[in-house]
Structure 1
Amino acid sequence: MITPAPAGQGPAAPQLTDWTGTRHAPAPDARILSLVPSLTETLFALGLGDNIVGRTAFCIHPAEKVKTIKSVGGTKQLNWRKVDAARPTHAVLNVDENPKDMADDLAARGIVPVVTHPLAPADNGPLIRLLGGVFGREAAAEPLARRFEDALSAITAARPDTETRVLYLIWKAPWMSVGPDTYIARTLDLIAWRSWTSPEGARYPEIDLTDPVLDDVDRVLFSSEPFPFTDDHLAAFRADHPRHAAKAQLVDGEMLSWYGVRAIAGLSYVKALADRTAASRR
């Protein structure tokens, strides 16, 4: 993981200062390597499609536009020959999705790493402004950031009083979930859905789906990513755990875990989850 900034980095020029504390010079003509799927989508939304010279194989939105950008590998490992051929000046990374040695190797090649690490929904406004500021799209970034922040204020004000305990599954074999110190958990908390916490307090714990664990939650959420859970997985869970069958639910992982511009639609999705829960309790 990428090393965090020292405490107290201060508010100076937040639109140009990334998570490591590095203050970037504006680079409107940058050649961008986008190594985070949700940020690739955000860069396009900021009007930076022509600046993107490389992406990961997992960057899939916006579908028609992203197909025109060559892949240079995955989020964990790059094809350095393809990176060099793309001649990027900057690379956009994320602490949870890209390893620290990737950022170091990019910097050693003279490619400027712009490091992000949103930990809560409220971080999306500053994140959008950071990308807009560094790459010369402040005018496009500000209305998107404000649109998100207005929606966040509305959903925060309407937070339900009744808490729902959830187990959010992101992987199978082994089963893995998310702890409370994650972006996903904080997004769910907007509607008072409290994520199950492992005894060790891990951010992404491996778990056993035992009765004591399942007894402790009201819903078991099967996310569409990173593991592509489907209705077949819900059916298998219900067969294996009939006493907890009604708790199983598929959820859209992009809407709950992608930050940047996708989080705007994500807030509407979260509100719809809350509304359905409230209706089921009437």
Structure 2
Amino acid sequence: MTFTDVLGQQHAAAPEARIVSLVPSITELLCDLGLAPQLVGRTGFCIHPADTVRAIPKVGGTKDVNIEKIRKLAPTHVVVNIDENEKPTVGKLAEFVPNIVVTHPITPRDNIALARLMGGVFCAQQNADEWCDAFTRELAELESAPKGPPQRVLYCIWQDPWMTISRDTYIAHMLALIGWTIPEMGEARYPSFRWSEDVVAQIDQVLLSTEPYRFTEQHADALERQIGKPVQLVDGEMMSWYGSRALRGLRYLRRLADQ
């Protein structure tokens, strides 16, 4: 039996796989599926679960991967993501790693296919099925919950320059579950923008994410005074990490909508 990644590549079940994960959220998922003993490498941003990943060697960041470190670890599989990892880097890894497993969740429901792919390729299907059942129940509860008034929100991920997200992103699809929409800011998936009266007029509130930029309550207070619209700090991991943390992310969304 084989399992298909987002590029249509077929991967056979590999019970003895040596895995390098270059995707923080998927590193956490692999650990939660019981696969930590097979993880031989991770990025410095793979910080969850902390007690487990501490023993796994680092191989650089998601963008600045140390190719030679990975070569020395002799992985059979490297897990990558289209948004988080650079295509030229993945190409170099493919020269000596037998299996590159490519992922690209766009909607919350894509977490189900992601978990089944990881569970299938790395022979942790029972754990993956149990996680998928829990996620499916939580998603159904959120989708069927009464929606509050629609909100137009600007979700900020960076400043200097200010950057936001497009509607075709995982975060935007998460927000859509509670009836919150993202304004159009151009064709880029993560567009930059400048504050103006026109931008402020398009939104009901601003969400400042705690990652990748480390926005704080001080940033939120200052921006609220500047633009005269509500600004709140949100947990970036809960909003953008697919995989294990997405289950908690759905619960976090419910609380966000109830505020």
Alignment TM class, shorter chain as reference: over 0.9
Quote the Cα distance in structure 1 between the aligned partners of 2:105 and 2:167.
14
Q: Could you tell me which amino acid in structure 2 is paired with residue 43 of structure 1?
A: L
Matches within 5 A, 1:130-141: 130-141=117-128
User: Which residue does 1:261 correspond to in 2?
Assistant: 244
CA contact (8 A) 2:75 2:97 kept: no
Give the C-alpha shift of residue 261 in structure 1.
1.2
Determine whether 1:24 maps to 2:11.
yes
Quote the Cα distance in structure 2 between the aligned partners of 1:228 and 1:159.
32
Quote the Cα distance in structure 1 between the aligned partners of 2:15 and 2:200.
51
User: Which residue does 2:20 correspond to in 1?
Assistant: 33
Q: How many residue pairs are counted as aligned between the two chains?
A: 259
Quote the Cα distance in structure 2 between the aligned partners of 1:183 and 1:161.
21
Determine whether 1:153 maps to 2:140.
yes
CA contact (8 A) 1:159 1:192 kept: no
User: Which residue does 2:115 correspond to in 1?
Assistant: 128
Identity over aligned pairs, percent: 47
The RMSD of aligned alpha carbons is 1.3
Q: Could you tell me which amino acid in structure 2 is paired with residue 202 of structure 1?
A: A
CA contact (8 A) 1:255 1:263 kept: yes
SS of the residue 1:127 aligns to: helix
Quote the Cα distance in structure 2 between the aligned partners of 1:159 and 1:178.
26
Quote the Cα distance in structure 2 between the aligned partners of 1:157 and 1:182.
22
Give the C-alpha shift of residue 82 in structure 1.
1.2
- Correspondent of 1:163 among 140, 150, 154: 150
Unmatched 5+ stretches in structure 1: 1-12, 277-282
SS of the residue 1:104 aligns to: helix
User: Which residue does 1:217 correspond to in 2?
Assistant: 203
User: Which residue does 2:45 correspond to in 1?
Assistant: 58
User: Would the alpha carbon gap of residues 124 and 159 (structure 1) be closer, same or farther in structure 2, given more than 3 Å must change?
Assistant: farther
Unmatched 5+ stretches in structure 2: none
- When normalised by structure 2's length, the TM-score is 0.97
Q: Could you tell me which amino acid in structure 2 is paired with residue 259 of structure 1?
A: Y
Matches within 5 A, 1:79-228: 79-160=66-147, 162-198=149-185, 200-228=186-214
- When normalised by structure 1's length, the TM-score is 0.89
Give the C-alpha shift of residue 80 in structure 1.
2.0
Q: Which 4+ runs in 1 deviate beyond 3 A?
A: none
User: Which residue does 2:34 correspond to in 1?
Assistant: 47
CA contact (8 A) 1:159 1:190 kept: no
